[in-house]
Amino acid sequence: MLQDSSIRKSLDQYIQRRIQEIPSEIKQTFPNIKQIWRCQDEQDFLYGYYVGKIEEGALHYLLKATRASAGGYVDTFEIRGIIETHKTELQKVIKDQIGN
């Protein structure tokens, strides 16, 4: 799918921008994770939430950038793989924000 290096680079930059936006989103959206969501592990909850949000945004970004249809060109597993290359960075941002 992402044979074009410029598209791959652009997607990678998109993911990095989204990761940088996470601290302000956590402050605004998830002030009391344990109380509201009854979640024992805030970091795991937020990691899964943001991987899903970034994956969804990346899919829309790619469809718009490549003007492809959702049917054939975009491989969501490949998008997830690219997001996972930023796993450590994403986990660190979340951990720093929630103070664990």
44-84 confidence digits (pLDDT tens): 888 989 999 999 998 888 877 776 544 445 677 888 888 99
Q: What is the pTM of this model?
A: 0.76
Alpha-carbon 66 to chain mean position: 19
* pLDDT computed for residue 9 by the predictor: 86
Domain ranges of the chain: 5-98
Segment 68-79, tens digit of pLDDT? 544 445 677 888
* pLDDT computed for residue 75 by the predictor: 73
Going by C-alpha positions, the residue among 97, 19, 95 that lies closest to residue 55 is: 19
Cα–Cα distance for residue pair 74/66, rounded to 1 Å? 9
* pLDDT computed for residue 30 by the predictor: 72
